Structure 1
Amino acid sequence: MSEDVWEAGDAYEAYVGRWSRKVAAEFVGWLDVPAGRRWLDAGCGTGALTSAALRTGPARVVGVDPSRGFLRTAPVEAHRVAGDAAALPLGDASFDVVVSGLALNFVPRPGAAVAEFARVAAPGATVAAYVWDYATGMQMMRLFWDAAAEVDPAAAGRDEGRRFPICHEPALRAAWAAAGLTEVATRSIEVPTVFAGFDDFWQPFLGGQGAAPSYLATLGQHEQHAIRELLRARAPASADGTIALTAAAWAVRGRR
Protein backbone atom coordinates (compact mmCIF):
# COMPACT_ATOMS: atom_id res chain seq x y z
CA MET A 1 0.00 0.00 0.00
CA SER A 2 1.36 3.42 -0.93
CA GLU A 3 1.88 6.05 1.76
CA ASP A 4 0.02 9.34 1.87
CA VAL A 5 2.29 12.18 0.73
CA TRP A 6 2.44 15.52 2.57
CA GLU A 7 5.25 17.74 1.38
CA ALA A 8 4.36 20.21 -1.40
CA GLY A 9 2.35 23.06 0.08
CA ASP A 10 1.11 24.58 -3.18
CA ALA A 11 -0.29 21.26 -4.42
CA TYR A 12 -2.00 20.65 -1.08
CA GLU A 13 -3.58 24.11 -1.17
CA ALA A 14 -5.08 23.39 -4.59
CA TYR A 15 -6.38 20.03 -3.37
CA VAL A 16 -8.02 20.71 0.02
CA GLY A 17 -6.16 23.60 1.64
CA ARG A 18 -8.44 26.18 0.02
CA TRP A 19 -11.49 24.48 1.54
CA SER A 20 -9.82 23.98 4.91
CA ARG A 21 -9.38 27.74 5.22
CA LYS A 22 -13.14 28.21 5.13
CA VAL A 23 -13.65 25.58 7.83
CA ALA A 24 -10.84 27.06 9.95
CA ALA A 25 -12.48 30.49 10.02
CA GLU A 26 -15.79 29.09 11.25
CA PHE A 27 -14.03 26.76 13.71
CA VAL A 28 -12.08 29.60 15.33
CA GLY A 29 -15.25 31.68 15.54
CA TRP A 30 -16.95 28.77 17.36
CA LEU A 31 -14.11 28.63 19.90
CA ASP A 32 -14.57 32.36 20.65
CA VAL A 33 -11.15 32.78 22.28
CA PRO A 34 -10.29 36.28 23.57
CA ALA A 35 -7.27 38.16 22.25
CA GLY A 36 -3.87 37.84 23.86
CA ARG A 37 -3.84 34.07 24.27
CA ARG A 38 -1.03 31.62 23.53
CA TRP A 39 -2.01 29.24 20.70
CA LEU A 40 -0.59 25.92 19.52
CA ASP A 41 -1.60 24.54 16.11
CA ALA A 42 -0.60 20.85 16.21
CA GLY A 43 -0.28 19.44 12.70
CA CYS A 44 -0.38 22.94 11.25
CA GLY A 45 0.30 21.89 7.65
CA THR A 46 0.34 24.86 5.31
CA GLY A 47 -1.23 27.10 7.93
CA ALA A 48 -4.98 27.34 7.27
CA LEU A 49 -5.82 27.12 10.97
CA THR A 50 -2.71 29.05 12.02
CA SER A 51 -3.83 31.96 9.82
CA ALA A 52 -7.27 31.94 11.43
CA ALA A 53 -5.69 31.91 14.91
CA LEU A 54 -3.47 34.87 14.00
CA ARG A 55 -6.58 36.93 13.24
CA THR A 56 -7.69 36.66 16.90
CA GLY A 57 -4.87 38.94 18.10
CA PRO A 58 -2.97 36.24 19.99
CA ALA A 59 0.05 36.74 22.21
CA ARG A 60 1.81 33.97 20.30
CA VAL A 61 1.07 31.18 17.83
CA VAL A 62 3.25 28.07 17.50
CA GLY A 63 2.74 25.68 14.59
CA VAL A 64 4.05 22.11 14.78
CA ASP A 65 4.15 19.75 11.79
CA PRO A 66 6.35 16.81 10.72
CA SER A 67 6.51 18.07 7.11
CA ARG A 68 9.25 20.64 6.62
CA GLY A 69 7.83 21.33 3.17
CA PHE A 70 4.50 22.36 4.69
CA LEU A 71 6.22 24.38 7.41
CA ARG A 72 7.93 26.47 4.74
CA THR A 73 4.47 27.43 3.46
CA ALA A 74 2.96 28.19 6.89
CA PRO A 75 2.60 31.85 7.96
CA VAL A 76 5.88 33.46 8.94
CA GLU A 77 4.12 35.32 11.79
CA ALA A 78 3.90 32.00 13.67
CA HIS A 79 6.78 30.22 15.33
CA ARG A 80 7.14 27.03 13.27
CA VAL A 81 8.52 23.81 14.76
CA ALA A 82 9.11 20.41 13.14
CA GLY A 83 7.58 17.74 15.33
CA ASP A 84 5.10 14.93 15.91
CA ALA A 85 1.64 15.66 17.33
CA ALA A 86 1.88 12.50 19.45
CA ALA A 87 5.21 13.60 20.97
CA LEU A 88 5.12 17.39 21.02
CA PRO A 89 8.55 19.01 21.57
CA LEU A 90 6.98 21.52 23.96
CA GLY A 91 6.69 22.01 27.69
CA ASP A 92 3.79 21.15 29.98
CA ALA A 93 0.98 23.68 30.46
CA SER A 94 2.47 26.07 27.87
CA PHE A 95 -0.63 27.15 25.90
CA ASP A 96 -4.04 28.71 26.47
CA VAL A 97 -5.46 27.22 23.26
CA VAL A 98 -4.39 23.95 21.62
CA VAL A 99 -5.94 23.25 18.23
CA SER A 100 -5.50 20.83 15.36
CA GLY A 101 -7.03 21.00 11.90
CA LEU A 102 -7.41 18.02 9.54
CA ALA A 103 -4.43 16.26 11.11
CA LEU A 104 -5.57 14.04 13.98
CA ASN A 105 -6.59 11.13 11.75
CA PHE A 106 -3.13 10.98 10.17
CA VAL A 107 -1.45 10.39 13.53
CA PRO A 108 -0.91 6.62 13.96
CA ARG A 109 -2.26 6.81 17.55
CA PRO A 110 -4.80 9.65 17.73
CA GLY A 111 -5.42 9.06 21.44
CA ALA A 112 -1.74 9.69 22.17
CA ALA A 113 -1.94 12.97 20.28
CA VAL A 114 -4.98 14.15 22.25
CA ALA A 115 -3.17 13.24 25.48
CA GLU A 116 -0.27 15.42 24.29
CA PHE A 117 -2.68 18.25 23.52
CA ALA A 118 -3.93 18.04 27.10
CA ARG A 119 -0.38 17.89 28.50
CA VAL A 120 0.78 21.12 26.87
CA ALA A 121 -2.49 22.92 27.66
CA ALA A 122 -2.54 25.20 30.69
CA PRO A 123 -5.28 24.75 33.32
CA GLY A 124 -8.50 26.15 31.90
CA ALA A 125 -7.18 26.04 28.33
CA THR A 126 -9.32 25.20 25.32
CA VAL A 127 -8.32 22.03 23.45
CA ALA A 128 -10.07 21.59 20.09
CA ALA A 129 -9.77 20.01 16.66
CA TYR A 130 -11.60 19.36 13.44
CA VAL A 131 -11.38 16.52 10.92
CA TRP A 132 -13.11 15.94 7.61
CA ASP A 133 -16.28 13.87 7.70
CA TYR A 134 -14.78 11.52 5.13
CA ALA A 135 -17.53 8.91 5.30
CA THR A 136 -20.39 11.10 4.06
CA GLY A 137 -19.59 14.80 4.30
CA MET A 138 -16.53 15.42 2.10
CA GLN A 139 -18.27 15.17 -1.28
CA MET A 140 -15.28 15.64 -3.59
CA MET A 141 -13.46 12.72 -1.93
CA ARG A 142 -16.58 10.58 -1.71
CA LEU A 143 -17.09 10.93 -5.46
CA PHE A 144 -13.43 10.08 -6.09
CA TRP A 145 -13.23 6.96 -3.92
CA ASP A 146 -16.53 5.56 -5.15
CA ALA A 147 -15.29 5.89 -8.75
CA ALA A 148 -11.83 4.56 -7.91
CA ALA A 149 -13.27 1.45 -6.23
CA GLU A 150 -15.19 0.61 -9.41
CA VAL A 151 -12.01 0.79 -11.48
CA ASP A 152 -9.70 -0.76 -8.89
CA PRO A 153 -11.33 -2.69 -6.00
CA ALA A 154 -8.09 -2.31 -4.02
CA ALA A 155 -8.84 1.42 -3.76
CA ALA A 156 -11.26 0.64 -0.94
CA GLY A 157 -8.26 0.14 1.32
CA ARG A 158 -7.15 3.72 0.71
CA ASP A 159 -10.58 5.32 1.25
CA GLU A 160 -10.34 7.76 4.19
CA GLY A 161 -13.99 7.05 5.01
CA ARG A 162 -12.98 3.51 5.99
CA ARG A 163 -9.43 4.13 7.22
CA PHE A 164 -10.04 6.73 9.91
CA PRO A 165 -12.45 5.78 12.72
CA ILE A 166 -11.52 8.95 14.63
CA CYS A 167 -13.35 11.01 11.98
CA HIS A 168 -16.74 10.41 13.58
CA GLU A 169 -18.47 12.46 16.26
CA PRO A 170 -18.70 9.71 18.93
CA ALA A 171 -15.00 8.82 18.50
CA LEU A 172 -13.95 12.45 18.94
CA ARG A 173 -16.05 12.80 22.09
CA ALA A 174 -14.55 9.60 23.48
CA ALA A 175 -10.96 10.71 22.72
CA TRP A 176 -11.46 14.07 24.45
CA ALA A 177 -13.01 12.42 27.50
CA ALA A 178 -10.23 9.81 27.68
CA ALA A 179 -7.66 12.62 27.81
CA GLY A 180 -9.39 14.04 30.88
CA LEU A 181 -10.85 17.05 29.08
CA THR A 182 -14.15 18.44 30.34
CA GLU A 183 -17.06 20.45 28.91
CA VAL A 184 -16.71 18.47 25.68
CA ALA A 185 -18.84 19.73 22.78
CA THR A 186 -18.98 18.80 19.11
CA ARG A 187 -20.51 20.22 15.97
CA SER A 188 -20.52 19.77 12.22
CA ILE A 189 -19.10 22.53 10.03
CA GLU A 190 -20.13 22.52 6.37
CA VAL A 191 -18.72 24.81 3.69
CA PRO A 192 -19.39 25.15 -0.05
CA THR A 193 -16.76 23.79 -2.42
CA VAL A 194 -17.51 25.25 -5.83
CA PHE A 195 -15.25 24.25 -8.73
CA ALA A 196 -15.00 26.45 -11.82
CA GLY A 197 -15.26 23.41 -14.07
CA PHE A 198 -14.22 19.78 -14.35
CA ASP A 199 -10.54 20.64 -14.79
CA ASP A 200 -10.63 22.63 -11.55
CA PHE A 201 -12.12 19.57 -9.85
CA TRP A 202 -9.79 16.98 -11.42
CA GLN A 203 -6.39 18.67 -11.62
CA PRO A 204 -5.79 18.82 -7.84
CA PHE A 205 -6.04 15.03 -7.72
CA LEU A 206 -2.91 14.96 -9.91
CA GLY A 207 -0.82 16.94 -7.42
CA GLY A 208 0.36 13.93 -5.42
CA GLN A 209 -0.47 15.46 -2.02
CA GLY A 210 -2.88 13.65 0.27
CA ALA A 211 -4.44 10.20 0.30
CA ALA A 212 -6.41 10.28 -2.98
CA PRO A 213 -3.71 12.02 -5.08
CA SER A 214 -1.02 9.74 -3.61
CA TYR A 215 -3.07 6.69 -4.55
CA LEU A 216 -3.85 8.03 -8.03
CA ALA A 217 -0.13 8.54 -8.70
CA THR A 218 0.43 4.77 -8.29
CA LEU A 219 -1.94 3.93 -11.17
CA GLY A 220 -1.25 3.61 -14.87
CA GLN A 221 -2.68 5.98 -17.44
CA HIS A 222 -5.50 3.58 -18.35
CA GLU A 223 -6.80 3.39 -14.76
CA GLN A 224 -6.41 7.13 -14.22
CA HIS A 225 -8.36 7.81 -17.41
CA ALA A 226 -11.15 5.44 -16.35
CA ILE A 227 -11.51 7.15 -12.96
CA ARG A 228 -11.45 10.58 -14.55
CA GLU A 229 -14.20 9.72 -17.02
CA LEU A 230 -16.40 8.20 -14.31
CA LEU A 231 -16.01 11.40 -12.33
CA ARG A 232 -16.72 13.54 -15.38
CA ALA A 233 -20.00 11.66 -15.86
CA ARG A 234 -21.01 11.85 -12.20
CA ALA A 235 -19.90 15.30 -11.06
CA PRO A 236 -23.04 17.49 -10.84
CA ALA A 237 -22.07 20.21 -13.32
CA SER A 238 -24.35 23.21 -13.77
CA ALA A 239 -25.23 24.70 -17.14
CA ASP A 240 -22.24 27.04 -16.88
CA GLY A 241 -19.90 24.14 -16.13
CA THR A 242 -19.40 24.87 -12.44
CA ILE A 243 -19.53 21.98 -9.99
CA ALA A 244 -21.09 22.93 -6.66
CA LEU A 245 -20.38 20.50 -3.82
CA THR A 246 -20.05 20.79 -0.06
CA ALA A 247 -17.44 19.70 2.46
CA ALA A 248 -18.29 18.85 6.06
CA ALA A 249 -15.98 18.50 9.03
CA TRP A 250 -16.53 17.30 12.58
CA ALA A 251 -15.26 19.71 15.24
CA VAL A 252 -14.69 19.00 18.92
CA ARG A 253 -13.64 21.18 21.86
CA GLY A 254 -13.03 20.67 25.55
CA ARG A 255 -11.38 22.30 28.53
CA ARG A 256 -8.23 21.32 30.39
Structure 2
Amino acid sequence: MPVWGDGEAYEPYIGRWSRRVADEFVRRLDVPDGAAWWDVGCGTGAVTRAVLEAADPGRVVGADPSESYLRYARRAIGDPRAGFVRADARRLPAPDGAAGAAVSGLVLNFVPEPARAAAEMVRVLRPGGLAAVYVWDYTQGGMGLLRHFWDAAAEVDADAARLDEGARFPLCAPEPLRRLLRGSGLADTTVGEIVVPTRFRDFADYWEPFRGGQGPAPAYLASLPEARRELLRERLRASLPAAADGSITLSARAWTALGRRPPR
Protein backbone atom coordinates (compact mmCIF):
# COMPACT_ATOMS: atom_id res chain seq x y z
CA MET A 1 0.00 0.00 0.00
CA PRO A 2 1.37 3.50 -0.78
CA VAL A 3 2.12 5.76 2.15
CA TRP A 4 -0.71 8.07 1.06
CA GLY A 5 -3.60 6.96 -1.12
CA ASP A 6 -6.52 5.53 0.86
CA GLY A 7 -9.13 8.15 1.66
CA GLU A 8 -11.14 5.92 3.99
CA ALA A 9 -8.07 5.28 6.16
CA TYR A 10 -6.77 8.84 5.96
CA GLU A 11 -9.88 10.54 7.32
CA PRO A 12 -9.86 9.11 10.89
CA TYR A 13 -6.07 9.41 11.07
CA ILE A 14 -5.31 12.98 9.89
CA GLY A 15 -8.27 14.13 7.82
CA ARG A 16 -10.54 14.94 10.75
CA TRP A 17 -7.92 17.30 12.20
CA SER A 18 -6.89 18.77 8.85
CA ARG A 19 -10.49 19.85 8.25
CA ARG A 20 -10.41 21.98 11.40
CA VAL A 21 -7.24 23.70 10.30
CA ALA A 22 -8.52 24.14 6.73
CA ASP A 23 -11.62 26.01 7.92
CA GLU A 24 -9.58 28.56 9.86
CA PHE A 25 -6.93 28.75 7.14
CA VAL A 26 -9.39 29.70 4.40
CA ARG A 27 -11.23 32.23 6.57
CA ARG A 28 -7.98 34.16 6.97
CA LEU A 29 -7.41 34.54 3.22
CA ASP A 30 -8.29 37.70 1.30
CA VAL A 31 -9.49 36.49 -2.10
CA PRO A 32 -12.13 38.31 -4.19
CA ASP A 33 -15.54 36.69 -4.57
CA GLY A 34 -15.94 34.70 -7.76
CA ALA A 35 -12.23 33.94 -8.10
CA ALA A 36 -10.91 30.68 -9.51
CA TRP A 37 -9.01 28.58 -6.95
CA TRP A 38 -6.58 25.68 -7.30
CA ASP A 39 -6.21 23.29 -4.35
CA VAL A 40 -2.81 21.68 -4.91
CA GLY A 41 -2.50 18.21 -3.38
CA CYS A 42 -6.17 18.27 -2.45
CA GLY A 43 -6.21 14.78 -0.92
CA THR A 44 -9.68 13.97 0.40
CA GLY A 45 -10.85 17.54 -0.14
CA ALA A 46 -10.48 19.30 3.24
CA VAL A 47 -9.26 22.59 1.77
CA THR A 48 -11.59 22.41 -1.24
CA ARG A 49 -14.57 22.00 1.08
CA ALA A 50 -13.39 24.90 3.26
CA VAL A 51 -13.08 27.15 0.21
CA LEU A 52 -16.60 26.29 -0.89
CA GLU A 53 -18.02 26.91 2.57
CA ALA A 54 -15.97 29.88 3.80
CA ALA A 55 -15.18 31.78 0.60
CA ASP A 56 -17.29 32.58 -2.47
CA PRO A 57 -15.33 30.97 -5.32
CA GLY A 58 -16.36 30.87 -8.93
CA ARG A 59 -14.57 27.55 -9.34
CA VAL A 60 -12.28 25.31 -7.28
CA VAL A 61 -10.07 22.70 -8.94
CA GLY A 62 -8.53 20.09 -6.67
CA ALA A 63 -5.41 18.37 -8.00
CA ASP A 64 -3.87 15.24 -6.52
CA PRO A 65 -1.77 12.32 -7.84
CA SER A 66 -3.88 9.73 -5.95
CA GLU A 67 -6.95 8.54 -7.82
CA SER A 68 -8.24 6.99 -4.57
CA TYR A 69 -8.17 10.36 -2.82
CA LEU A 70 -9.84 12.00 -5.80
CA ARG A 71 -12.64 9.43 -5.80
CA TYR A 72 -13.19 10.09 -2.10
CA ALA A 73 -13.26 13.87 -2.66
CA ARG A 74 -15.68 13.58 -5.58
CA ARG A 75 -18.07 11.49 -3.48
CA ALA A 76 -17.79 13.75 -0.44
CA ILE A 77 -18.12 17.08 -2.26
CA GLY A 78 -21.11 17.42 -4.53
CA ASP A 79 -20.84 21.15 -5.18
CA PRO A 80 -20.94 21.91 -8.92
CA ARG A 81 -18.31 24.63 -8.43
CA ALA A 82 -15.72 21.95 -7.56
CA GLY A 83 -13.79 19.78 -9.96
CA PHE A 84 -10.95 17.32 -9.44
CA VAL A 85 -8.04 16.29 -11.67
CA ARG A 86 -5.23 13.80 -11.28
CA ALA A 87 -2.00 15.77 -11.39
CA ASP A 88 1.43 16.18 -9.87
CA ALA A 89 1.91 19.36 -7.81
CA ARG A 90 5.00 20.08 -9.93
CA ARG A 91 3.06 19.99 -13.22
CA LEU A 92 -0.40 21.48 -12.87
CA PRO A 93 -2.70 21.22 -15.91
CA ALA A 94 -3.60 24.90 -15.85
CA PRO A 95 -2.60 27.82 -18.08
CA ASP A 96 -0.49 30.68 -16.77
CA GLY A 97 -2.45 33.23 -14.77
CA ALA A 98 -5.63 31.14 -14.62
CA ALA A 99 -6.36 31.49 -10.89
CA GLY A 100 -6.95 34.13 -8.27
CA ALA A 101 -5.78 31.80 -5.52
CA ALA A 102 -3.63 28.69 -5.24
CA VAL A 103 -3.69 26.87 -1.91
CA SER A 104 -2.16 23.71 -0.49
CA GLY A 105 -2.67 21.93 2.81
CA LEU A 106 -0.25 19.40 4.39
CA VAL A 107 1.45 18.67 1.08
CA LEU A 108 4.64 20.59 0.30
CA ASN A 109 6.86 18.62 2.69
CA PHE A 110 5.89 15.39 0.89
CA VAL A 111 6.60 16.71 -2.61
CA PRO A 112 10.08 15.61 -3.77
CA GLU A 113 10.80 19.10 -5.12
CA PRO A 114 8.79 21.59 -3.04
CA ALA A 115 10.37 24.58 -4.80
CA ARG A 116 8.98 23.34 -8.12
CA ALA A 117 5.54 22.90 -6.59
CA ALA A 118 5.63 26.41 -5.16
CA ALA A 119 6.74 27.78 -8.52
CA GLU A 120 3.81 26.02 -10.20
CA MET A 121 1.39 27.58 -7.73
CA VAL A 122 2.80 30.99 -8.63
CA ARG A 123 2.66 30.25 -12.37
CA VAL A 124 -1.08 29.56 -12.34
CA LEU A 125 -1.83 32.78 -10.45
CA ARG A 126 -2.89 35.98 -12.13
CA PRO A 127 -0.85 39.06 -11.12
CA GLY A 128 -1.90 39.96 -7.59
CA GLY A 129 -3.21 36.45 -6.96
CA LEU A 130 -2.68 34.78 -3.59
CA ALA A 131 -0.69 31.60 -2.85
CA ALA A 132 -1.17 30.12 0.62
CA VAL A 133 -0.04 26.88 2.25
CA TYR A 134 -0.06 25.12 5.60
CA VAL A 135 1.94 22.21 7.01
CA TRP A 136 1.99 20.47 10.38
CA ASP A 137 4.54 21.53 12.96
CA TYR A 138 6.30 18.24 13.71
CA THR A 139 8.51 19.61 16.49
CA GLN A 140 8.26 18.78 20.18
CA GLY A 141 5.42 21.18 20.88
CA GLY A 142 3.56 20.88 17.58
CA MET A 143 1.58 17.89 16.34
CA GLY A 144 0.89 16.11 19.63
CA LEU A 145 -0.62 12.90 18.33
CA LEU A 146 2.49 12.22 16.23
CA ARG A 147 4.98 13.50 18.79
CA HIS A 148 3.73 11.00 21.37
CA PHE A 149 3.88 8.21 18.79
CA TRP A 150 7.48 8.84 17.72
CA ASP A 151 8.73 9.43 21.25
CA ALA A 152 7.31 6.06 22.29
CA ALA A 153 8.64 4.41 19.12
CA ALA A 154 12.15 5.67 19.87
CA GLU A 155 11.97 3.98 23.28
CA VAL A 156 11.36 0.57 21.74
CA ASP A 157 13.30 0.89 18.47
CA ALA A 158 16.50 2.89 17.97
CA ASP A 159 15.86 3.01 14.21
CA ALA A 160 12.59 4.88 14.62
CA ALA A 161 14.25 8.27 15.07
CA ARG A 162 15.30 8.50 11.43
CA LEU A 163 11.68 8.09 10.29
CA ASP A 164 10.27 10.76 12.63
CA GLU A 165 8.62 13.56 10.60
CA GLY A 166 10.22 16.07 12.95
CA ALA A 167 13.66 15.07 11.67
CA ARG A 168 12.67 14.39 8.06
CA PHE A 169 10.84 17.62 7.25
CA PRO A 170 12.84 20.75 8.16
CA LEU A 171 10.61 22.67 5.72
CA CYS A 172 7.82 22.55 8.33
CA ALA A 173 8.85 25.67 10.23
CA PRO A 174 8.18 29.39 9.75
CA GLU A 175 11.46 30.57 8.23
CA PRO A 176 11.93 27.68 5.77
CA LEU A 177 8.36 28.22 4.56
CA ARG A 178 8.93 31.95 4.19
CA ARG A 179 12.12 31.35 2.21
CA LEU A 180 10.35 28.84 -0.02
CA LEU A 181 7.59 31.26 -0.96
CA ARG A 182 9.97 34.17 -1.44
CA GLY A 183 12.17 32.01 -3.62
CA SER A 184 9.20 31.17 -5.82
CA GLY A 185 8.76 34.84 -6.66
CA LEU A 186 5.97 35.80 -4.26
CA ALA A 187 5.83 39.20 -2.62
CA ASP A 188 4.48 40.31 0.76
CA THR A 189 5.11 36.87 2.26
CA THR A 190 3.92 36.26 5.81
CA VAL A 191 3.84 33.24 8.12
CA GLY A 192 1.49 32.37 10.96
CA GLU A 193 0.11 29.49 12.98
CA ILE A 194 -3.18 27.71 13.59
CA VAL A 195 -3.65 25.53 16.67
CA VAL A 196 -6.58 23.13 16.99
CA PRO A 197 -7.52 20.69 19.76
CA THR A 198 -7.36 16.98 18.94
CA ARG A 199 -9.60 15.13 21.36
CA PHE A 200 -9.88 11.34 21.30
CA ARG A 201 -12.75 9.49 22.98
CA ASP A 202 -10.38 6.90 24.39
CA PHE A 203 -7.12 5.13 23.61
CA ALA A 204 -8.71 3.03 20.85
CA ASP A 205 -9.85 6.22 19.08
CA TYR A 206 -6.23 7.38 19.13
CA TRP A 207 -4.57 4.04 18.28
CA GLU A 208 -6.77 2.43 15.63
CA PRO A 209 -6.15 5.02 12.88
CA PHE A 210 -2.43 4.23 13.08
CA ARG A 211 -3.32 0.73 11.86
CA GLY A 212 -4.61 2.08 8.53
CA GLY A 213 -1.22 2.34 6.82
CA GLN A 214 -1.61 6.00 5.79
CA GLY A 215 1.48 8.13 6.36
CA PRO A 216 4.98 7.55 7.75
CA ALA A 217 3.95 6.60 11.30
CA PRO A 218 1.30 4.02 10.29
CA ALA A 219 3.61 2.61 7.61
CA TYR A 220 6.34 2.23 10.23
CA LEU A 221 3.90 0.55 12.61
CA ALA A 222 2.89 -1.95 9.91
CA SER A 223 6.55 -2.83 9.37
CA LEU A 224 7.09 -3.95 12.98
CA PRO A 225 6.78 -7.54 14.15
CA GLU A 226 3.70 -8.17 16.25
CA ALA A 227 5.55 -8.29 19.57
CA ARG A 228 7.16 -4.91 19.01
CA ARG A 229 3.87 -3.37 17.84
CA GLU A 230 2.29 -4.51 21.07
CA LEU A 231 5.16 -3.07 23.10
CA LEU A 232 4.81 0.27 21.33
CA ARG A 233 1.06 0.22 21.90
CA GLU A 234 1.49 -0.23 25.64
CA ARG A 235 4.21 2.44 25.85
CA LEU A 236 1.83 4.84 24.15
CA ARG A 237 -1.07 3.90 26.39
CA ALA A 238 1.06 4.68 29.44
CA SER A 239 2.40 7.98 28.12
CA LEU A 240 -0.74 9.65 26.80
CA PRO A 241 -2.55 12.11 29.12
CA ALA A 242 -5.85 10.29 29.67
CA ALA A 243 -8.63 11.97 31.67
CA ALA A 244 -10.76 10.17 34.23
CA ASP A 245 -13.32 9.28 31.53
CA GLY A 246 -10.58 7.83 29.32
CA SER A 247 -10.57 10.69 26.84
CA ILE A 248 -7.27 12.07 25.56
CA THR A 249 -6.90 15.74 24.66
CA LEU A 250 -3.87 16.91 22.70
CA SER A 251 -3.32 19.79 20.29
CA ALA A 252 -2.04 20.20 16.76
CA ARG A 253 -0.27 23.23 15.35
CA ALA A 254 0.03 24.05 11.67
CA TRP A 255 2.36 26.65 10.21
CA THR A 256 0.85 28.80 7.50
CA ALA A 257 2.54 30.91 4.83
CA LEU A 258 1.20 33.11 2.09
CA GLY A 259 2.22 35.68 -0.48
CA ARG A 260 1.06 37.38 -3.67
CA ARG A 261 2.22 37.16 -7.24
CA PRO A 262 3.65 40.59 -8.03
CA PRO A 263 1.94 42.78 -10.65
CA ARG A 264 3.43 42.59 -14.09
Which range, TM-score by smaller chain? over 0.9
Q: Does 1:220 align with 2:219?
A: no
Deviations 1:95-139 (CA, angstroms, capped at 9, x unpaired): 100000001100011111101111111111000000000113000
Paired residue secondary structure (2:193): strand
Unaligned runs of 5+ in 2: none
Per-residue deviation, 1:227: 0.8
Q: Does 1:62 align with 2:61?
A: yes
Match of 1:90 in 2: 94
Deviations 1:206-256 (CA, angstroms, capped at 9, x unpaired): 011111111111111111101110000000000111100000000001001
* Aligned mate of 2:181, from 146, 167, 176: 176
Deviations 1:65-100 (CA, angstroms, capped at 9, x unpaired): 011000011124321111111121221111100000
For 1:42, the aligned partner's letter is V
Paired residue secondary structure (1:20): helix
TM-score (norm 2): 0.94
How do residues 28-43 of structure 1 correspond to structure 2 at under 5 angstroms? 28-43=26-41
Match of 2:139 in 1: 135
Distance 2:28 2:237 in 1: 36
Unaligned runs of 5+ in 1: none
Distance 2:126 2:201 in 1: 44
Give the number of equivalent residue pairs.
254
Match of 2:103 in 1: 99
Instruction: Kindly indicate whether the alpha-carbon contact (under 8 Å) linking 2:31 and 2:100 is maintained by their aligned counterparts in 1.
Output: no
TM-score (norm 1): 0.97
Q: Does 1:207 align with 2:206?
A: no
Distance 1:153 1:32 in 2: 46
Dislocated runs of 4+, deviation >6 Å:
none
Deviations 1:37-74 (CA, angstroms, capped at 9, x unpaired): 10000000000011001111210000000110000111
* Aligned mate of 2:83, from 79, 83, 88: 79
Paired residue secondary structure (2:161): helix
Paired residue secondary structure (1:194): strand
Paired residue secondary structure (2:28): helix
For 2:69, the aligned partner's letter is F
Instruction: Kindly indicate whether the alpha-carbon contact (under 8 Å) linking 1:4 and 1:211 is maintained by their aligned counterparts in 2.
Output: no
Percent identity between matched residues is 54
Distance 2:109 2:35 in 1: 26
* Aligned mate of 2:256, from 248, 251, 255: 251
For 1:96, the aligned partner's letter is G
Distance 1:22 1:162 in 2: 25
Distance 2:200 2:2 in 1: 24
Instruction: Kindly indicate whether the alpha-carbon contact (under 8 Å) linking 2:152 and 2:235 is maintained by their aligned counterparts in 1.
Output: yes
Instruction: Kindly indicate whether the alpha-carbon contact (under 8 Å) linking 1:9 and 1:46 is maintained by their aligned counterparts in 2.
Output: yes
Match of 2:246 in 1: 241
How do residues 118-197 of structure 1 correspond to structure 2 at under 5 angstroms? 118-136=122-140, 137-197=142-202
CA RMSD of the aligned region, Å? 1.1
Per-residue deviation, 1:7: 1.4
How do residues 38-49 of structure 1 correspond to structure 2 at under 5 angstroms? 38-49=36-47
Distance 1:82 1:205 in 2: 26
For 1:242, the aligned partner's letter is S
For 2:216, the aligned partner's letter is A
